[in-house]
Amino acid sequence: MRIRKNDTVKIISGEIRCKTCKVIRVNQETQTAIVQGINLLWKHMRRSQQYPHGARIQKESPVPLCKLMLVCTNCNKPTRISNKISEAGIKSRVCKKCAQSLVEV
């Protein structure tokens, strides 16, 4: 999986393209991610003890991973990434533009 939790991503297609946000959660089975403040929808809640008059809650819905591009932490540009295995056997993600390893947040 190339995009992980807490990565900064840029939306590359759709109505909200060119926005940069943080990934909250990634679902590998459906190839989607929940991105902070993107693709919001309203959820209507019934009356309960927590919401005595009912409520309308705004929450994020999943975005396909193919519409997201990772933003490099070194060069601050949206980029493709590759995987590189070091001599010590540690696998890391590498930016295709600046060829430096991405710093884990």
Is pLDDT above 70 for 104? no
pLDDT confidence bin for 103, thresholds 50/70/90: low
Check whether residue 2 and residue 40 sit in a common domain: yes
CA distance 63 to 66: 9
- Can you give the pTM of this predicted structure? 0.80
Q: How far is CA 45 from the centre of its chain?
A: 26
Check whether residue 55 and residue 85 sit in a common domain: no
Nearest to 78 by CA among 5, 26, 38, 21: 21
What is the average pLDDT value for the chain, to the nearest integer?
90
pLDDT one-digit tens code per residue, 20-65: 999 999 999 999 999 999 989 999 999 999 999 999 999 999 999 9
Domain of residue 22 covers 1-71
Check whether residue 38 and residue 4 sit in a common domain: yes
